[in-house]
Amino acid sequence: MATVQVENVRKIYTRDTQTIVVLDGISLEVPDGEFVALMGPSGSGKTTLLNLIAGIDRVTSGMIRVGDTTVTGLSDAALAQWRSRHVGFVFQFYNLIPVLTAVENVELPLLLTRLTKRQRRERALTALRIVGLADRAKHYPRQLSGGQEQRVAIARAIVTDPSVLVADEPTGDLDAASAEDILTLLDTLNRDFRKTIVMVTHDPRAAARAHVERHLDKGVLAASVERHVPASRDAHEVPA
Amino acid sequence: MKFLPYVLQHLRRSWIRTASTVAGMALCVFLICVLQTVLAAIESSIAGASPSRLVTRHAVSLTFNMPLAYKARIQAIDGVDRVAISNWFMGVYRDMKDFFPNFAVESEDYFAMYPEIRVPPDQMQAYLQDMQGALIGPDIARKHGFRIGDQFQMESVIPPYRVRGPMTFVVRGIYGAAPGREGSVNMTTMYFHYRYLYETIQGAEGVGDYAGAGTFNLQLRDPDLATAVMRAVDTNFENSDVQTKTETEGAFLSGFISLVGNLAGLLGAVGLAVAFTILLVTANTMSMAVRERRTEIAVLKTLGFSGGRVLALVMIEAAALGVLAGALGVLLAQALVGGLADLPFMGLLLGNFPALRVSPPVAGFTFTVAVVLSLGAGFVPALTAYRGRITEMLRHA
């Protein structure tokens, strides 16, 4: 069963009197545990598609289903609650809260749960251990490198153990070595923790780490490139 | 509660802005608190007035005096138990900045009708026996270091009262308040013998009716007779050259206060302007805070924070500013309001009111105003955060 199903989605923006069709009847299926890269030129609609899958934007028409939930049918409040449980979002510019330490940033989504303070802190530290930054837990974002900030952002995205990770150009603001580390981390999360990942990227090297490449152009899905998927996958959950 | 550390860390981030906002708001809270305290003191003075005491004055104005002969005619009216002359002397000790209220009174009758003013019997005896004797409030004694037996001079700023130059007084007593009446006794007043004033100025050129009575203070046999006595007194002098106006002590105090204009209205208007300033200051800070944090708000929403929760976070931040400023402003007012009466010119007005201190109801009211206004000011920015679409806020970051 597909984790993410996108059916005939259209997204139209209206600016003053101008109507812009960003996505024009997109249909896409991302199977459970898949790692998909969305590529395309600027303005092709790939980030918009990612935002729609993550439930942070609304479709003009069409349907998006993630797991058992029809995301497009949820109210704003229900959608927020759904995001907190089922989606981890990784931004290009990390978007960590500067006044919070690394562990506090990672802990932020857990404030919406019923976990105790101690449980929240343990989970956040576990997530930081997974991304290899347990020793930087008390550091503020300004005290971390770009690559480390992105690792913290990924820890924040996985701390609630979501089924889907969406990443909007996660390596776009990093040097080659840091980008490689981040891609390896995403690969690990996909392979070892069986996270479904949908990643938007301009970088062919980043896209090459995905199992499937989907290309968007002018709001329409074009070519699809599939790669060999490793046969053995030992699924894990983020340990509580 | 688990969100509070997050909110406080945000306030700490722009600590200069937070501190200046809190300081600005605290100053406004301080002003409101002081204004409310003065209003409360005025109301307390009026409330402390006895219903069985009346005050008769010149019908035209308090600044004109009445013939002394009126006293006997008032005394003869049915229902009047006692009458005492009281004249506003407006004497200045050393300098205007040291001013304290002072009255020339017919001592025996006057203090008999004001039992809330307590004087130790031996001091009262010494005072009554000394023509130059003065009874002073404990605040005057403390401020100027006066002790029993000290001699000092005062000169009135009212020309007829200074025709013979400064008058000499001897401290013969320091009064206090009867138990339970502390709030209605002004501790900064000086009393001396009317007879001393009269004999000093009588016959001098230019004194005229200033050798008369400023007010007649009447003690009634029964408070229920107040209306009848007021009418009887004023009717008695209706066809005289000098007509009178008799009113209850409370009404007289209200009228005296209104000599400086509609004080309550003025203070209320200033308080309103200050409250509006709080609103603007907080609204500005909260708008800036929300505008600067559009991306963070978008991130919070992406992480699953609902619009309502984001709205609540902004409101908590605004409330935190209000709580800080409210507490600081009230503490500041509590520390400084007592000293206001010692300020030049302010003392002229505020020195007439006993119990000039921030009461718990005034502190509570002012604190609540600060918090409510902060919440009001934070509402629009909070609503902006609530309504903001994630993708829009991320795009314009």
pLDDT digits 0-9 by tens, A141-174: 999 999 999 999 999 999 999 999 999 999 988 8
> Mutation test of the interface with chain B: which of A100, A101, A110, A113, choosing the one with the most B Cβ atoms within 10 A?
A100
**Per-residue pLDDT tens over the stretch B85-104:** 999 999 999 888 788 889 99
- Residue B58 predicted with pLDDT over 50: yes
Q: Which residue of A has its CA nearest to B297?
A: A97
Is A235 part of the contact surface with chain B (CB cutoff 8 Å)? no
Which pLDDT value is given to residue B251? 82
Which residues of chain B neighbour A77 with C-beta distances below 8 Å?
A: 306-308
User: According to the model, what pLDDT value does residue B285 have?
Assistant: 83
Closest CA–CA distance from residue A184 to any residue of chain B (Å): 24
pLDDT reported for residue B205: 80
Q: Please, which pLDDT band fits residue A224 given cuts at 50, 70 and 90?
A: confident
Quote the domain boundaries for residue A198: 33-47+75-226
Instruction: Tell me which of A138 and A237 has the higher pLDDT.
Output: A138
* Token representation of residue B226: 């107040």
Cβ of B308 within 8 Å of Cβ of A77? The answer is yes
Asked if A117's CB is within 8 angstroms of B10's CB, the reply is no
Cβ neighbours, 10 Å, residue B142: 12
Q: Say what the pLDDT of residue A119 is.
A: 95
User: In sequence order, what DSSP letters do the residues of A52-94 get, joined into one string?
Assistant: HHHTSS--SEEEEEETTEEGGG--HHHHHHHHHHHEEEE-TT-
Q: What is the pLDDT of residues A21-30, one digit of tens each?
A: 999 999 999 9
In a domain, A57, yes or no: no
Is B304 within 8 Å of A57 when comparing Cβ atoms?
Answer: no
What average pLDDT score do residues B323-328 get? Answer: 94
User: pLDDT above 90 covers what percent of chain A?
Assistant: 75
Residues from chain A contacting residue B304 (CB–CB below 8 Å)? 80-85, 109, 112
- Rounded Cα–Cα distance for residues B278 and B8 (Å): 20
Task: Report chain A residues whose CB lies below 8 A from the CB of B296.
Answer: 95, 97
Secondary structure class of B203 (helix, strand, coil): coil
Mean pLDDT on B188-199: 94
Bridge partner list, A39:
A215
- pLDDT over threshold 60, residue B166: yes
As a whole number, mean pLDDT of residues B143-164 equals 92
A22-44 average pLDDT score = 92
Q: Which of A15, A51, A83 to mutate to test the interface with B (most CBs of B within 10 A)?
A: A83
> Least CB-CB distance to B307: which of A51, A76, A97?
A76
In a domain? residue A101:
yes
Question: Considering Cα of B205, then B208, then B213, then B215, what sign does the dihedral take?
Answer: negative
Residue A78 touches chain B, beta carbons under 8 Å: no
| Cβ of residue A81 closer than 8 Å to a chain B Cβ | yes
**Any chain A CB within 8 A of the CB of B305?**
yes
Rg, Å, chain B Cα set: 29
Q: Which one of B1, B15, B294, B302 would you mutate to disrupt binding with A, by most A Cβ within 10 Å of its Cβ?
A: B302
Q: Is residue A96 one of the residues assigned to a domain?
A: yes
Q: Does B15 touch chain A (CB under 8 A)?
A: no
Structure confidence at residue B83 (pLDDT)? 96
- Residues of chain A contacting B305 with CB distance shorter than 8 Å: 80, 84, 112
What single letter denotes the amino acid at residue A78?
A: A
Whether B295 contacts chain A with CB within 8 A: yes
Within a domain: residue A107? yes
The per-residue pLDDT for range A64-108, each reduced to its tens digit, is 999 999 999 999 999 999 999 999 999 988 999 998 999 999 999
| Least trusted range by pLDDT, from B95-104, B151-160, B347-356 | B347-356
- Number of independent structural domains in chain A: 1
- Tell me which of B378 and B262 has the higher pLDDT: B378
Q: Which pLDDT score, from 0 to 100, does residue A118 have?
A: 95
- Of A83, A52, A118, A164, nearest in space to B309 by CA: A83
CATH of the domain at A143: 3.40.50.300
When pLDDT is averaged across residues A57-64 and rounded to a whole number, the result is: 95
The Cα–Cα gap between B29 and B373 comes to 11
Task: With a cut of 60, say whether residue A229 has pLDDT above it.
Answer: no
Closest chain A CA to residue B15: A99
- Which residues on B lie below 8 Å from A99 (Cβ)? 9-10, 12-13
CB burial readout A68-101, b (16+ within 10 A) else e: ebebbebeeeebbbbbbebbbbbbbbbbbbebbb
**B73, B78, B84, B86 alpha-carbon torsion, rounded to 10°:** -80
Q: Is A84 on the interface with B (CB under 8 A)?
A: yes
Name A137's Cβ contacts closer than 8 Å, sequence gap at least 6: A101, A102, A103, A124, A125, A128
Scored b (16 or more CB within 10 A) or e, B329-359 reads: bbbbbbeebeebbbeeeebbbbbbbbbbebb
- Token readout for B173 is 């007593």
pLDDT of residue B357: 80
As a whole number, mean pLDDT of residues B370-380 equals 91
Residue A17 lies in a domain: no
Widest CA span in chain B: 92
A92 located within any domain? yes
Q: What is residue B351's predicted lDDT score, i.e. its pLDDT?
A: 58
Q: Do B307 and A77 touch (CB under 8 A)?
A: yes
pLDDT band for position B344 (cuts 50, 70, 90): low
Residue from B49, B52, B62 nearest B229 by CA: B52
Asked whether residue A66 is domain-assigned, the answer is no
- Considering chain B, what percentage of its residues have pLDDT values greater than 70? 93
In chain B, alpha helices (H): 4-13, 15-47, 70-75, 107-112, 121-129, 138-144, 194-201, 226-236, 249-257, 263-292, 294-302, 307-340, 346-350, 360-387, 390-395
